[in-house]
Amino acid sequence: MKMKQKLEVTSSRPYSIFLGVGLEDLGAYLEKELGGIEHLLIVTHPRVKEHYLERLINGFSAFQCDVLVVPPGEEEKSLERLSKLTSEAVACGADRHSVVLALGGGVIGDLAGFFASVYMRGIRFVQIPTTLLAQVDSSIGGKTAVNHPSGKNLLGAFYPPLVVWTDFSTLETLPWEEVLNGLAETVKHAVLGDAALFSFLETNQQKIIDRIPEIYQELTSRSLQVKVRVVMEDEKEKGQRMLLNLGHSFGHALETEAAYQGISHGKGVSIGMIAATYLAEARGLITSAEVKRILDLVKGLGLPIQIQGKDPEILLHLMEADKKNQKGQKVLILPDKIGHALVVRDACDEEILQAWNKVIIK
The annotated binding site for Zn(2+) is made up of 185, 248, 265
Alpha carbon separation from 77 to 64, 89, 156, 303 (Å, rounded): 26, 17, 11, 24
Task: Select the residue interacting with its own copies from 291, 295, 321, 342 (CB under 8 A).
Answer: 321
Annotated binding site for NAD(+): 106-110, 130-131, 143, 152, 170-173
Q: In the annotation, is 181 catalytic?
A: no
Task: Select the residue interacting with its own copies from 326, 337, 345, 349 (CB under 8 A).
Answer: 326
**DSSP class of 329:** B
What minimum distance in Å lies between the beta carbon of 232 and its own copies? 18
Q: In the annotation, is 185 catalytic?
A: yes
Alpha carbon separation from 84 to 65, 70, 79, 90, 92 (Å, rounded): 18, 10, 9, 10, 13
Q: Give the pairing of strands 39-44 and 307-308.
A: unpaired
Instruction: Decide: is 35 part of the binding site for its own copies (CB under 8 A).
Output: no
By beta-carbon proximity to its own copies, the closer residue of 295 and 344 is 344
Q: Which residues contact 1 (CB under 8 A, 6 or more apart)?
A: 213, 214
Rounded Cα distance, 95 and 344, in Å: 45
Q: Give the pairing of strands 332-337 and 340-344.
A: antiparallel
Rounded Cα distance, 86 and 5, in Å: 34
By beta-carbon proximity to its own copies, the closer residue of 299 and 324 is 324
Residue 4, classified by CB atoms within 10 Å of its CB into exposed (0-12), middle (13-18) or buried (19+), is: exposed
Site string (220-249) toward its own copies, x via CB under 8 A: ----------------xx------------
Residue 205's CB is within 10 A of a number of other CB atoms, namely 16
By beta-carbon proximity to its own copies, the closer residue of 241 and 267 is 241
Q: In the annotation, is 77 catalytic?
A: no
Rounded Cα distance, 339 and 190, in Å: 6
What minimum distance in Å lies between the beta carbon of 91 and its own copies? 8
Instruction: Decide: is 291 part of the binding site for its own copies (CB under 8 A).
Output: no
Alpha carbon separation from 59 to 30, 206, 285, 292 (Å, rounded): 10, 37, 52, 48
Task: Select the residue interacting with its own copies from 20, 22, 72, 151 (CB under 8 A).
Answer: 151
By beta-carbon proximity to its own copies, the closer residue of 76 and 290 is 76
Active-site residue identified among 81, 188, 227, 323: 227
Catalytic annotation, residues: 121, 143, 185, 227, 237, 241, 245, 248, 252, 265
Query: Which residues are at the interface with its own copies (CB under 8 A)?
Result: 38, 79, 82-83, 86-87, 90-91, 93, 95-97, 117-122, 143, 145, 148-151, 153-158, 236-237, 321, 323-328
